[in-house]
């Protein structure tokens, strides 16, 4: 069992040249912090799961060295016997190709469409997930709800998140309140560093 794991929601996507990962344009203000969090996970050998915005450039299996792609289809078991060999995991999300359709079909919810997500969580056996990322009201909120529903503890980095495109201060307060009612705890990056030391 791992005491901690990191869950990066939609901060990264494939670069335009397809050679690696880059931060989504909306995430640029917190790009250095994202890089530091990925570094902490790597240095400590902690699992790091990441997703890509359903409107972004998504990685394909085998496109990223050292990253295990967890596909949408539960009948695809090709990844399961390789979990122990990896510390970085890309959890695939569904995309319908148009932002309005993605929103209507809740494509932002990785736990709704990825049938392998519960299997990955069980294999990683992380006690507490540290969640941060892009699209707070929708994408980050969905990740937090999915992790809590799987029986995991969740810490949300309140100062390492980007608002959803149509969010308001009121919708963000409502999201925070709902997630806290479900059991999520909001902490700062400084509090996380103190916990990890």
* The pLDDT value given to residue 181: 97
Structural domains of the chain, with CATH: 2-196 (3.40.50.850)
With a cut of 70, which residues of the chain have pLDDT below it? none
Q: Kindly report, residue by residue over 87-96, the tens digit of the pLDDT.
A: 999 999 999 8
Determine which helix (DSSP H) or strand (DSSP E) holds 169, and give its type and residue range: helix 169-182
> Distance between CA 112 and CA 41 in Å, rounded?
26
Q: How is residue 123 written in tokens?
A: 């294999």
* The pLDDT value given to residue 100: 86
* The pLDDT value given to residue 165: 83
Rama region for 78: left / alpha / beta (φ>0; ψ in -120 to 50; rest): alpha
* The pLDDT value given to residue 61: 78
List Cα–Cα distances, 170 to 38, 96, 127, 175, in angstroms. Answer: 30, 29, 31, 9
* The pLDDT value given to residue 91: 96
């Amino acid at each position: 069992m791992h005491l901690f794991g990191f869950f990066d929601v939609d901060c990264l996507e494939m670069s335009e040249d397809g050679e690696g990962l880059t931060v989504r344009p909306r995430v640029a203000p917190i790009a250095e912090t994202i890089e530091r969090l990925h570094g902490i996970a790597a240095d400590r050998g902690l699992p790091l799961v990441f997703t890509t915005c359903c409107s972004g450039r998504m990685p394909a299996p085998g496109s990223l060295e050292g990253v295990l792609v967890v596909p949408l289809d539960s009948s695809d078991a090709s990844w399961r016997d390789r979990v122990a060999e990896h510390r970085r995991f890309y959890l695939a999300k569904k995309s319908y190709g148009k932002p309005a359709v993605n929103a209507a079909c809740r494509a932002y919810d990785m736990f709704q469409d990825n049938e392998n997500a519960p299997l990955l969580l069980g294999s990683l056996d992380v006690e507490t997930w540290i969640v941060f990322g892009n699209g707070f009201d929708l994408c980050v909120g969905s990740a937090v709800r999915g992790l809590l529903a799987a029986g995991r503890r969740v810490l949300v980095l309140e100062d390492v998140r980007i608002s959803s495109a149509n969010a308001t201060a009121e919708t963000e307060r409502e999201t925070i309140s709902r997630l806290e009612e479900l059991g999520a705890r909001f902490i700062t990056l400084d509090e996380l560093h103190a916990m990890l030391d």
